Structure 1
């Protein structure tokens, strides 16, 4: 799949630019949006730890700034040998800008790939629909 290869390459490049001097836990993310555009993000730490920005949230911000409205696929990679799933906050942000079939691809340093749907990583996600029923 050509788009997945482009997403993986973009996520790897983003990870290399991560600013993680405190944890040395570099993460990159890349999104393919509803317009077929790619958007990348990396984690950025802060000395007032744990204040910082996750790669997934940075990529979603880039998507919104670039005019995208929905995540079609997202790749997340960390400089680790095991897949690095998004944290809870990032799962919620991804769910907000996805549908339940959106694919989240977790890549290892050895190029192992594990794929989930948003609904698998955040079942029963809170959504704007819940606000309408309040």
Structure 2
């Protein structure tokens, strides 16, 4: 089942995506523990490495606002099937979210797949790994 409030917030961001090169808009909505929703869209750049994904845009907006406790993330796009986050976004999720936090992968046709952060990135590299470095 698609969480409608998050879906509507992520869908709104599709129109704000800056995608002159790929024409592949993505929207994201991140639910913080205080009930605040942080939205993100992908923002491309002619120097592709400077492009930022919708998921990271939402996370960075939340963190810049002082929030680091999250309950859910929803990602949507205009794809035929549900949209999955890239590897970099998965790593950012693992940095700031509990492994059990739900991530809703959706599209504009109403498809939805719910996974956890751990299911999206099993064996994630974490701060714990740095503590054991010698």
Give the TM-score normalised by structure 1.
0.94
Deviation of 1:69 after TM superposition, in Å, equals 0.8
> Quick one: distance in 2 between partners of 1:51 and 1:106?
24
What corresponds to 2:90 in structure 1? 91
> Quick one: distance in 2 between partners of 1:50 and 1:109?
27
Deviation of 1:70 after TM superposition, in Å, equals 2.2
Structure-to-structure mapping, 1:53-72, within 5 angstroms: 53-72=52-71
Structure 2: stretches of 5+ with no match in the other structure: none
What corresponds to 1:18 in structure 2? 17
1:30-79, Cα deviation, whole Å (9 max, x unpaired): 00012221000000001122430000000001111222112210000111
CA contact (8 A) 1:75 1:106 kept: yes
1:70-125, Cα deviation, whole Å (9 max, x unpaired): 22100001111211110000000011110111111011120111100011110011
CA contact (8 A) 1:37 1:68 kept: no
CA contact (8 A) 1:71 1:94 kept: no
Runs of 4+ in structure 1 off by over 4 angstroms are: none
Q: Which deviates the most, 47-56 or 103-112? A: 47-56
Structure 1: stretches of 5+ with no match in the other structure: none
What corresponds to 2:122 in structure 1? 123
State whether structure 2 residue 45 is matched by structure 1 residue 46: yes
> Quick one: distance in 1 between partners of 2:26 and 2:34?
24
> Quick one: distance in 1 between partners of 2:32 and 2:130?
25
How many residue pairs are counted as aligned between the two chains?
133
The Cα RMSD (Å) is 1.5
